[in-house]
Amino acid sequence: MRNNRISLYIDLLFCLVIIPLVIMLLPVDRWITTNTAFLFTLVAYVYILYFVYRKVCLPKLFMRKKYFSIAFILTILIAVTELLTYFPIPAERITDDVRQMAARMSLRTQTIWFFFLVVTGFSLAIELTFELFRQILSRQEIEAEKNKAELALYKAQINPHFLFNTLNTLYALVLSGSDKTESAFVKFSDILRYMYSQSGSELIPAERELEYIRQYVDLQKLRLNSHTKVDLNIEITNRQVLIPPMILITFVENAFKYGTSSDTDCIIHIFISLNEERLLMKTENDIMRRCEEGECGIGIENCRKRLDLLYPGRYTLQTGEVNGRYNTFLTIQLR
């Protein structure tokens, strides 16, 4: 729609401004009285030539390698232009002065070819610009669809990972006959409801995502004993700031997956700070178990790929072990 509007504006600019200005360079006052038919024929030829170029779009034909069609069209247009140079001179303008007649014919020929070159150059420049613009838009659309498909894949990979861990938690509570089992199932149903409600959303209010984090932490606390302490600290200045769903949960999951113990004292620190311009997340946990070969870093790598697509060049993600504790540090420039 926008391209059609721009094209219309360019056509109006050429037809109502540029061509009339160029025509004014001609001896219009003299030609309109002495050579009226030729003047109107020339003006009609210029406009027809312009719209023929706009219709056939030579750059598009060139991109499609239709060289024969291009050669055929240019041959026809050049032939018509050449025929126009033989437009008859009015009888009353014919004189015996050969030099004067040659000068008139030369001026007419130069004028015709001048308009041909002006219209051809302007039309080709405009069509080439539009074709390049269309090519860029097409590539951007393809890249956007590719990114969208990749994001959907990464989100699909995150959700089963979460479900597997949570079902393990519920299974452990059921086996132990804990009185926290009912509460755990209620929280689990709330979490599932959230996951399905935001599955098609690219951005959601931060309040919903952070509440999801709180519910997840509470659910994990139900299966933990006094040996594991969890410190969750969330600072948020604007609850309606939009952030991607499920972008933080992997780091929280990993902290509980590798940083909890039922017989050794350990602690998990989770800090999240959010304002309108920046999201900051830090996690720190004791390393109570090591990941098995083949499973290390899959969730974090998926998150990194999502961040590359969503915030290219606008995020920092650092992970690693320091003095027996695992740390993650994530910052995202939202604006």
Would you say residue 152 lies in a domain?
no
In this structure, are 184 and 296 located in the same domain? yes
In this structure, are 132 and 189 located in the same domain? no
Would you say residue 167 lies in a domain?
no
In this structure, are 200 and 316 located in the same domain? yes
pLDDT value of residue 145: 60
Q: Are 174 and 212 in contact (CB under 8 A)?
A: no
CA distance 330 to 53: 54
pLDDT in tens, 75-129: 888 888 888 887 776 655 555 455 666 666 777 788 888 888 888 888 888 888 8
In this structure, are 128 and 238 located in the same domain? no
Q: Are 241 and 205 in contact (CB under 8 A)?
A: yes
In this structure, are 136 and 221 located in the same domain? no
Would you say residue 159 lies in a domain?
no
Would you say residue 161 lies in a domain?
no
pLDDT value of residue 224: 78
Residue that terminates a domain, selected from 93, 111, 140 = 140
Axis-axis angle for helices 298-310, 249-258 (nearest 10): 170
pTM for the full predicted model: 0.54
In Å, the largest CA–CA distance within the chain is 121
CATH of the domain at 273: 3.30.565.10
In this structure, are 63 and 135 located in the same domain? yes
End-to-end CA distance of the chain: 29
In this structure, are 313 and 203 located in the same domain? yes
Would you say residue 324 lies in a domain?
yes
Q: How many CA atoms lie within 13 A of 282 on its CB side?
A: 8
Q: Tens-digit pLDDT profile for the chain (335 aa)?
A: 555 677 777 778 777 888 788 777 777 667 776 777 877 888 888 888 888 888 888 877 887 788 888 888 888 888 888 888 877 766 555 554 556 666 667 777 888 888 888 888 888 888 888 777 777 777 776 666 666 655 555 555 555 656 776 777 788 778 877 777 888 888 888 877 877 776 567 788 888 889 888 988 888 887 777 888 999 999 988 888 888 888 888 888 888 888 888 888 899 999 999 988 899 999 999 888 877 655 566 677 778 888 887 888 889 999 888 888 899 999 999 87
Would you say residue 49 lies in a domain?
yes
pLDDT value of residue 271: 95
In this structure, are 131 and 182 located in the same domain? no
CA distance 207 to 240: 6
Residue that terminates a domain, selected from 111, 140, 169 = 140
Give the residue numbers spanning the domain of 77: 2-140
pLDDT value of residue 102: 67
pLDDT value of residue 94: 57
In this structure, are 322 and 185 located in the same domain? yes
Would you say residue 163 lies in a domain?
no
Residue that terminates a domain, selected from 85, 117, 140 = 140
pLDDT value of residue 331: 94
Would you say residue 168 lies in a domain?
no
CA distance 89 to 94: 7
In this structure, are 23 and 86 located in the same domain? yes
**What is the domain count for the chain?**
2
In this structure, are 131 and 219 located in the same domain? no
CA distance 142 to 41: 46
In this structure, are 118 and 187 located in the same domain? no
